[in-house]
Chain A
Amino acid sequence: MRDFVYHRPASLDEARRLALEEGAMLLAGGQTLLRDMRQGRHSPASLVDITSVVPSRIELHDGAITIGAGATHAEVARSVVLRERLPVLADLVGHIGDPAVRHRGTLGGALATNEPAGDYPAACIALGTTVRTTKREVAATEFFVGHCRTVLEPGEIIIDVTFPLARQSAYVKFLNPASRYAMVGVFAAVAQDGSPRIAVTGARAGGAFRWREAETALRAAFVAERLRDVHLSPEGLVEDLFADARYRGHLSEVLACRAVALATGPSRGALVLSHGSQFGPGGRQQLI
């Protein structure tokens, strides 16, 4: 790895100024960036460590929860406010990476990275989240713009993210057996205005997306049966060693049904399926 200058600014203004320097990159928890730098995907001239200048508080207000960009996954997963008011998000975040990664990785870092199989982007898109930066407020649906890309401009820093509470919500993902990232993950929600939202992650190289055909089918009734004749075209879906495009399309359909069923059932939350054990609300789950 090429050497670089490390900055730990004392204020957001100083961080913005340093981030505008030639070749600078922002460093939050570093769980993706430092790994990618070691693999030669990035060679910044400097890293600007923003962990001590962005907020990490979690606050409930007016039917929404605002989470500071610096909140680690471990902090979000154990937040009492989230566990009570938006347990699906605490659950989802509690299954990102592994415990050591969750101690370090942050909300802001996960959003800015926009990994194609990331869990947070699916939640943000389905819940109608707003991302507040040092420049503006952006809807999540406009924030993510393709493979590992967002609308963030040089020197622009995510401050916090506001998640509206949903009437019903659940997330179901099936793990890639090797990487343990989602092979596919589906977030299903009913917003406060009653509209259904379905977001899929892991299926397209461009990252998480709204599955509008599924949403349309669920408008009449938010029940899994409504998805029986909805199919995700394999065109444009990810193909790799573990799953071809048709498999990923089928998996998206199956997981969407499971997510809707979970969201309308007694134990809402996040369900993680894999070739081995399954974890979700109430502990181990039977794979149906």
Chain B
Amino acid sequence: MPEVSMTVNGRLVHSVVEGRTMLVDFLRETLGLTGTHVGCDTTQCGACVVHVNGLAMKSCTMLALQCGGSVVTTIEGLAAFGAPLHPMQAAFRQHHALQCGYCTSGMVMMGLDIVRRLGEPDEATIREELKGNICRCTGYHNIVKAIAAGARAMAAQHK
């Protein structure tokens, strides 16, 4: 069976995988990083969004082998266990941007990607940017508020 190496949340990992192993299954089953979820399996819902080489991608629609040599960040990589939450995570908590929580890790990872690309976008832009992240509980209002607040907090941090 083929082997793959990549850096996940700052740690170099090396493992044997099948050709068909998706990145999300590699993260969850092989590495035990179960914060990244599988919602739809049809590349629509965004519960599986992680960052690959700094860009938000859907880990259910990438082979683990395609990520050989890549740098992957998952929700677990944003703040160390016991350390203060990342400002985007803190904003999601403060604004109660979740109900069941299933979509949350994908929303946070996409929120960070939105901030990386667009800084502090307006509400309409955030809604458009969330086209590929589906939430079945909240109606999005608090998620949009949280991403805007997270963006502000991150900008303030860099000042």
**B41 and A38 contacting across the interface, CB-CB below 8 Å:** yes
In chain B, residues 102-159, which have Cβ atoms closer than 8 Å to a Cβ of chain A? Answer: 110, 113-114, 117, 124-125, 127-129, 131-133
**A99 and B19 contacting across the interface, CB-CB below 8 Å:** no
Known contacts: A8-B68, A100-B49, A104-B62. The answer to whether A279 contacts B19 by CB under 8 A is no
In chain B, residues 44-91, which have Cβ atoms closer than 8 Å to a Cβ of chain A? Answer: 44, 46, 49, 52, 55-58, 61-63, 65-66, 68
A235 an interface residue at 8 Å Cβ cutoff? no
**Set of chain A residues within 8 Å of B41, measured between Cβ atoms:** 38
**B19 and A100 contacting across the interface, CB-CB below 8 Å:** no
Interface residues on A, range: 20 to 34
Which of A6, A34, A180 is packed against the most chain B CB atoms within 10 Å?
A: A6
**A31 and B61 contacting across the interface, CB-CB below 8 Å:** yes
**B63 and A100 contacting across the interface, CB-CB below 8 Å:** no
**A180 and B131 contacting across the interface, CB-CB below 8 Å:** yes
Distance, CA A35 to CA B45, complexed state (A): 13
Contact of B65 among A1, A6, A35 (CB under 8 A): A6
* B62 CB, nearest partner CB in chain A, Å: 7
**B131 and A2 contacting across the interface, CB-CB below 8 Å:** no
Known contacts: A100-B110, A101-B132. The answer to whether A34 contacts B68 by CB under 8 A is no
Residues in chain A within 8 A of chain B (CB atoms) = 1-6, 8, 27, 30-31, 34-35, 38-39, 46-47, 49, 51, 74, 97-101, 103-104, 179-180, 277, 279, 283-284
Residues in chain B within 8 A of chain A (CB atoms) = 2, 18-20, 22, 41-44, 46, 49, 52, 55-58, 61-63, 65-66, 68, 110, 113-114, 117, 124-125, 127-129, 131-133
A-B contact sample (18 more), CB < 8 A, given A34-B62, A100-B46, A103-B56: A3-B18, A6-B63, A8-B65, A30-B62, A30-B66, A34-B61, A34-B63, A38-B41, A39-B42, A97-B132, A99-B56, A99-B132, A100-B49, A101-B61, A101-B132, A179-B44, A277-B127, A283-B125
In the A-B complex, the 5 residue pairs with the smallest Cβ-Cβ separation, listed nearest first, are: A98-B132, A103-B55, A6-B19, A98-B131, A6-B65
